[in-house]
Amino acid sequence: MKDNFEHKAKEWDSKSIRVQNALTIAEAIKSRVKLTPDMHLMDFGVGTGLLGFEVLKDVKSMVGVDTSKGMLEKLQDKNSDTLQIKPICQDIIENPLRDKFDGIISSMTLHHIESLTKFFTTIKNHLNNNGFIAIADLESEDGTFHSDNTGVFHFGFDKDELCKIVKDCGFKDVEFNNISIIKKPQRDFGIFLLTARV
């Protein structure tokens, strides 16, 4: 399995812009989705757990799926007696899990996924009845967000195109909200939160 994030894992949490972005996304999720203490969630593309640990505080358990061993090792270091994410290093689009979830969250990972139809079909199959998705990523951009576009399959997303794909994959109550802006020297980049249910 190719690991484009291996070399980034060590320094991932040292960028305050990333940490702040994950906290903003967690707040946006909490204000739009009713999280309850009995919920079992998945963070898809969990990385070092910047989003996952924040959301885990409001639910029962969290599985963190990622294809980068390096990122998951950093996540493991942050697991404590009180807050633990179960790391799974697997491409679940190719090899689905047996487990089902009450919700699937994700931050800044969708643009790394080549086939959106395969992705949304896969995550739908991992959800319990009435389960939710809450996925944050970049609005359409000009390809300058990353300094190196290796492993980037989408330069952000167009709201209408993305909503259509999600609906066509069988989701309902599809909502798209602009939740924040990441300011970089070259320009500003909008971040959206997509929520839906099965």
CA gap 43, 53 in Å, rounded: 10
Q: Which two tokens stand for residue 52?
A: 């996952």
Which residue number has the CB closest to ligand SAM? 47
Q: Is 67 in the site for ligand SAM (CB under 6 A)?
A: yes
In this structure, the chain runs to a length of: 198
CA gap 120, 125 in Å, rounded: 9
Minimum CB separation of residue 7 from ligand SAM in Å reads 11
Phi and psi, residue 41, nearest 5°: -115, 160
Number of residues that bind ligand SAM (CB under 6 A): 20
Q: Is 28 exposed, middle or buried (0-12, 13-18, 19+ CB in 10 A)?
A: buried
Q: Which of residues 100-139 bind ligand SAM (CB under 6 A)?
A: 107-109, 112-113
Minimum CB separation of residue 172 from ligand SAM in Å reads 25
CA gap 115, 29 in Å, rounded: 24
Minimum CB separation of residue 70 from ligand SAM in Å reads 8
Specify the residue, 108 or 172, whose C-beta has the smaller distance to ligand SAM. 108
Report the greatest alpha carbon distance in the chain. 44
Q: Is 180 in the site for ligand SAM (CB under 6 A)?
A: no
Minimum CB separation of residue 159 from ligand SAM in Å reads 20
Q: Is 156 in the site for ligand SAM (CB under 6 A)?
A: no
Q: Which of residues 41-60 bind ligand SAM (CB under 6 A)?
A: 45-47, 50-51
Distance of CA 119 to the CA centre of its chain: 12
Among 41, 62, 71, 127, binds ligand SAM (CB under 6 A): 71
Helix (H) or strand (E) holding 101: strand 101-107
Q: Which two tokens stand for residue 185?
A: 């020297």
Q: Which residues bind ligand SAM (CB under 6 A)?
A: 5, 18, 22, 45-47, 50-51, 65-68, 71, 91, 93, 107-109, 112-113
